[in-house]
Amino acid sequence: MASGYIDHNQKGWTLESRNKLKQLVEDGGTEVKPVWQENLICVITSPTFDVAVYCHSEEVFKVLNQPDKILGWLTHPKAKELSGFKD
């Protein structure tokens, strides 16, 4: 099983370390509310970098959906492929 982290867009370009939510929306994603659904990506921000994680299951979504984290949520039609996640 791959990590589920997303570091590249559909064109294979490396995402910058900050503003990953914006970059993934510009790449075809859609911002959504934090509700489990297919092709869901969670972006966790910190002062120095962002982490984009493919939520491949409702369990992963529940772990990431914590009120003490700064999060952004989006769906992307290629979320699984971008993450390299393997079942």
Domain that holds residue 69: 5-83
Kindly tell me if the per-residue pLDDT of 1 is higher than 90: no
Please tell me the predicted confidence (pLDDT) of residue 3: 59
Q: Read out DSSP for 26-84?
A: HTT-EE--S---TTEEEEEE-SS-EEEEE--SHHHHHHH--TTS-EEEEE-TTHHHHHT
Please tell me the predicted confidence (pLDDT) of residue 12: 95
Reported as a single tens digit per residue, the pLDDT across 72-81 is 999 999 999 9
**Binning pLDDT at 50, 70 and 90, where does residue 2 land?**
very low
Reported as a single tens digit per residue, the pLDDT across 3-47 is 599 999 999 999 999 999 999 999 999 999 999 999 999 999 988
Number of structural domains found in the chain: 1
